[in-house]
Amino acid sequence: MTDTCSQPVPFTGSLLLCDGFVGEEMTISVVLDNGKPALLPYRGTYPPTRYQTVYELTFEQGKLVKTTDRSSDIEAYRQITQAEQLQPGDREKWQTKIRPWISAYHDLTHLDQDYLD
């Protein structure tokens, strides 16, 4: 087995590369075998909004066609969601405050319309 893959990957779409974690790490609440509650470190993937540096790499049929620094966009997003005190499930604020901001800065035509509504 080789250390590198030489097979082409016909991927078309965008990837986000993130670095410089900001904020506090999340924890999850669990119940231990002895029945006592505990908080454990979250080991899942954090959203791009939790990073200082964010690059969007756009590929067409496996070839890199565009690199965009999204760091300032992500910082602006953090500021607007903090100012609006957005909570999970708050559809009204999402529709009236956040979605228009995202649409102004990002091309969302590749997403399924049901995802946006």
Question: Position of tokens 């590929």?
Answer: 59
| Cβ-contact 74, 51 below 8 angstroms | yes
The tens digit of pLDDT for each residue in 92-107 reads 877 777 777 777 666 5
Q: What pTM did the predictor assign?
A: 0.62
Annotate the chain with three-state secondary structure.
CCCCCCCCCCCCEEEEEEEEECCCCCEEEEECCCCCEEEEECCCCCCHHHEEEEEEEEEECCEEEEEEECHHHHHHHHHHHHHCCCCCCCHHHHHHHHHHHHHHHCCCCCCCHHHHC
What span, in angstroms and rounded, lies between the C-alpha atoms of 114 and 85? 24
What span, in angstroms and rounded, lies between the C-alpha atoms of 71 and 52? 6
The tens digit of pLDDT for each residue in 33-90 reads 888 888 878 777 888 888 899 999 999 988 899 999 989 988 888 887 777 777 767 7
What span, in angstroms and rounded, lies between the C-alpha atoms of 38 and 36? 7
Q: Who wins on pLDDT, 80 or 116?
A: 80
**What residues form DSSP beta bridges with 17?**
55
Predicted local confidence at residue 109, as pLDDT: 56
